[in-house]
């Protein structure tokens, strides 16, 4: 049975100080994953790699409040009795031993020299690991076996976000075919899409038909995308023909920047559906209302919108909103 990971254990497994910045967490995970991935280090390191991936998954999903609570619990109070180091943890392989007394003179110089040698050895090991991964990817590009495809599919559908991210990285910019493309669509359906995942997905070389299928799969999650990821997604679909249905799904997003960007890409000839129009007309941000009113001006406003348009034309603090609303009210004879 899997042992539940505590947040402090996770920092320890990744070899970073408690409370480290998310960028440090991501860098530490990628460095360790490169060293201990079974494809590089062999099957004997599979358990360690799983521990690294699990620790990264816990830290990536932990809220700032959860991390802060864990750090408070980990600190000793001034009058508390000394506490024994946690025993029985399955991750003691990352734990530091008690610091020796400060070295002196010649011994200190020898230790510094030894430290530099160790750093060089670690750097060389990382370079060799990167070369090994590059060779593995090159062989996969030359002709992937069914076993390699099966492993990629299994990792894309895995429960650990770090493992899925590694599988996406292994795809590079290749055109996903067959089982791999089906696994990508299923991954998007099953698991949350964050900025890291989306960056990999939009770099893949899709055929026009598969590009649309991926866009539709991502659009189904559009309302839950983080703001930056949603803006990346909108740029990616900006050249898609007949993108109205896809844009319509992102109009449920709460970010004003995302809604403004989606409305600026709205295709000609059609209006957003009535539910989307009701939600958007209730917003007060001029960044949303101005592009929305332009759409209503060119496509025609529905009669039920007359009271809200009249109110915007008279009372909204933005001059641009008032001007556009008045032009619609007069043109449609909504007063």
- Give me the percent of the chain exceeding a pLDDT of 90: 36
How large is the average pLDDT for residues 251-271? 91
Spatial CB neighbours of 64, under 8 Å, sequence gap ≥ 6: none
* Whether 183 and 248 share a structural domain: yes
Q: What are the tens digits of pLDDT across the range 54-86? A: 888 888 888 888 888 888 887 654 454 444 444
Determine, yes or no, domain membership for 94: no
Residue 211 located in a structural domain: yes
What CATH number is associated with residue 28? 1.10.287.110
pTM of the predicted model as reported, rounded to 2 decimal places: 0.54
**Domain tally for the chain?**
3
- Most confident among 95-104, 129-138, 251-260 (mean pLDDT): 251-260
Q: Tokens for 14?
A: 């990744």
Tokens of 226: 């983080």
Which pair of tokens denotes residue 57?
């998954």
User: Do 314 and 244 fall within a single domain?
Assistant: no
Please name the residue ranges forming H helices in the chain.
7-14, 22-36, 38-41, 46-61, 64-74, 105-142, 146-156, 161-171, 178-190, 195-203, 208-219, 227-237, 244-250, 256-264, 274-281, 286-299, 306-315, 319-332
Average pLDDT in the chain: 80
How far, rounded to the nearest angstrom, does the alpha carbon of residue 64 sit from its chain's CA centroid?
16
Domain membership flag for residue 244: yes
pLDDT in tens, 199-232: 999 999 999 999 999 999 999 988 888 999 999 9
Distant-in-sequence, close-in-space partners of 80: CB < 8 Å, separation ≥ 6 = none
Round to whole Å and give the CA distance between 291 and 333.
21
Residues 238 and 326 in one domain: no
Count of beta carbons in the 10 Å neighbourhood of residue 193 = 20
Q: How far is residue 316 from each of residues 297, 312, 323, 325, measured CA to CA in Å? A: 17, 5, 10, 10
pLDDT in tens, 101-117: 555 666 666 666 666 66
Are 262 and 152 in the same domain? yes
What pLDDT was estimated at residue 144? 47
- At which of 246, 267, 288 does a domain end? 267
The answer to whether 301 and 332 have CB atoms below 8 angstroms apart is yes
For residues 165 and 187, state if they share a domain: yes
Task: Compute the radius of gyration of the chain from its Cα atoms.
Answer: 27
pLDDT at 280: 95
User: Is residue 237 assigned to a domain?
Assistant: yes
Contact 53, 163 (CB under 8 A): yes
The verdict on 287 and 318 lying in the same domain is yes
Average pLDDT over residues 137-155: 67
Q: Is the pLDDT of residue 5 over 90?
A: no
Question: Last residue of some domain: 242, 267, 292?
Answer: 267
pLDDT exceeds 80 at position 145? no
In the numeric block, which tokens belong to residue 89?
């943890």
Q: What is the pLDDT of residue 132?
A: 59
**One domain, residues 230 and 294:** no
Could you tell me what percent of the chain has a pLDDT over 70?
75
Q: What's residue 83's pLDDT? A: 47
| Distant-in-sequence, close-in-space partners of 175: CB < 8 Å, separation ≥ 6 | 204, 205, 206, 207
- In a domain? residue 17: yes
The DSSP call for residue 267 is P
Q: Which structural domain, as residue segments, surrounds residue 225? A: 148-267
For residues 187 and 253, state if they share a domain.
yes
In a domain, 128, yes or no: no
Whether 185 is in a domain gets the answer: yes
**How far, in Å, CA of 52 to CA of 10, rounded?**
8
Among the candidates 216, 244, 267, a domain finishes at 267
- In-domain check, residue 127: no
């Amino acid at each position: 049975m899997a042992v539940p990971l505590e947040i402090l254990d996770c920092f320890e497994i990744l070899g970073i100080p408690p409370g480290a910045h998310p960028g440090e967490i991501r860098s530490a995970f990628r460095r360790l994953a490169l060293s201990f991935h079974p494809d590089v280090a062999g099957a004997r390191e599979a358990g360690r790699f799983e521990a690294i991936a699990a620790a990264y998954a816990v830290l990536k999903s932990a809220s700032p409040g959860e991390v802060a609570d864990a750090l408070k619990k980990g600190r000793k109070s001034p009058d508390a009795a000394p506490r024994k180091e946690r025993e029985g943890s399955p991750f003691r392989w990352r734990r530091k031993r008690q610091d020796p007394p400060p070295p002196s003179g010649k011994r200190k110089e020898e230790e510094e020299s030894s430290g530099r040698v160790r750093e060089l050895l670690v750097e060389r090991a990382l370079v060799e690991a990167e070369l090994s991964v590059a060779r593995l990817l090159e062989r996969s590009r030359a002709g992937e076996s069914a076993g390699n495809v099966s492993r990629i599919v299994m990792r894309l559908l895995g429960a650990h976000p770090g493992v899925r991210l590694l599988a996406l990285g292994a795809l590079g910019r290749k055109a996903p075919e067959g089982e791999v493309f089906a696994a990508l669509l299923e991954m998007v359906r099953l698991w949350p899409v964050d900025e890291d995942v989306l960056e990999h997905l939009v770099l893949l070389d899709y055929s026009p038909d598969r590009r649309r299928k991926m866009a539709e799969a991502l659009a189904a999650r559009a309302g839950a995308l983080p703001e930056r990821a949603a803006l990346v997604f909108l740029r990616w679909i900006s050249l898609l023909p007949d993108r109205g249905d896809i844009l319509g799904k992102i109009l449920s997003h709460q970010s004003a920047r995302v809604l403004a960007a989606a409305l600026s890409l709205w295709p000609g000839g059609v209006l957003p559906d009535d539910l989307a129009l009701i939600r958007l007309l209730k917003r007060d941000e001029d960044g949303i209302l101005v592009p929305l009113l332009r759409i209503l001006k060119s496509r025609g406003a529905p009669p039920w919108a007359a009271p809200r348009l009249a109110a915007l034309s008279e009372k909204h603090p933005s001059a641009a909103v008032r001007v556009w609303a008045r032009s619609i009210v007069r043109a449609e004879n909504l007063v």
